[in-house]
Structure 1
Amino acid sequence: MELVPICLASPLLLWMAYSDLRYMRIPNWLVLGLVAIFLISMPFLPRDSVVSRLFTASLVFVICGFAFAVGFFGGGDAKVLPALILLVPSETLQFFGLVFSGSMMIGLGFVVAVQMVPQARNSRWLGIRAQGMFPMGVSISIAGLVHPFAVSYAI
């Protein structure tokens, strides 16, 4: 039951990956959609889980805010990661960290490999064309999409 909210977010996560790769933007409505899924799910989740998710998301928000302030994250990345953390069951947070780390390597590897193609410089996709920038929404999306399956497989 606790993985249902993150599964419900799948369409939003797919759109986020597309939007960040295509435009290097994560729309605010997408972040609000993730928060709305959490708010709607709250009555069906154990109270301890809700409190833990809120605490963890608050902590991630502060860390991401700092990362944004020093230029490490884009604004959309800094907003969407805490919103996604609201959907991750507290018992699986450490596992999510592993999945997120792997998705960062996959996303970075994909973008770097595509950027090495000579035609990439002429691409209309900003996430592919931008040198020295990484559309982290792709990796955040991968982590959110893979996490429920990885948890189910690991258990």
Structure 2
Amino acid sequence: MGLETPATAALWLLIFASPVCLWVAWSDLRTMKIPNKAVVALVCVYLVVGLAVLPPPDYLWRLSHLAILLVIGIGANAAGLMGAGDAKFIAAAGPFVALGDASVVMLILAGMLLAAYPTHRLARMSPLRRLAPDWESWHSGRRFPMGFALGPALALYLGLAATYGA
């Protein structure tokens, strides 16, 4: 398995993006919202760290992912397919992913969703719920905190790229 993101670049991006990914997962579980500050922080990580670790043509090309995914996300949000925070996080995460790795990232996200959804649903029906009784996601009915899958999916991709990258 070879990923297009250079291993060293992925490692540096992982080091700085992982705390933001965890923040996104925790915040979405707690409040059913992904804070704009987290999205801006993720973009800033790419702008600063990406500039230092990626070749300039790749760095600039990947910035286009942000714009393209933001337009798609705004449309998906307007159609009621996803929350605005989810759309903004996906756009902010876009530059971290090499275009050639997009199918791998989709598989990672699908696997993360298959793990996160039942984990969340089981946890909210178990005594574990008492550890954080005020979390909005326990009371959200059919809504699911997508940040619980999105953040870890980006971190996992970067970890895999740090291990198997170009």
Fold agreement, TM-score > 0.5: yes
Asked if residue 20 in structure 1 is aligned to residue 22 in structure 2, the reply is: no
Same amino acid, percent of matched pairs: 29
2:146, 2:136 → 1: CA distance? Answer: 13
Matches within 5 A, 1:3-152: 3=10, 4-44=12-52, 45-117=54-126, 123-152=133-162
> Aligned-pair distance for 1:118?
8.3
- Stretches of structure 1 that go unaligned for 5 or more consecutive residues are none
Q: How many residues align?
A: 155
1:107, 1:63 → 2: CA distance? Answer: 24
- Stretches of structure 2 that go unaligned for 5 or more consecutive residues are 1-7
> Aligned-pair distance for 1:152?
4.5
2:70, 2:151 → 1: CA distance? Answer: 17
- Residues 119 and 32 of structure 1: is their aligned pair in 2 closer, same or farther, counting only changes over 3 Å? closer
AA in 1 matched with 2:23: W
TM (norm. structure 2) is 0.81
Which moved further from structure 2: 40-49 or 61-70?
A: 40-49
TM (norm. structure 1) is 0.86
Contact in 2 for aligned 1:14/1:141 (Cα 8 Å): yes
> Aligned-pair distance for 1:30?
0.8
AA in 2 matched with 1:95: V
> Aligned-pair distance for 1:60?
1.5
> Aligned-pair distance for 1:52?
2.7
SS at match of 1:86: helix
Which residue of the partner structure matches residue 2 of structure 1?
9
Higher relative contact order (Cα pairs below 8 Å, separated by 6+ residues): 2
SS at match of 2:96: coil
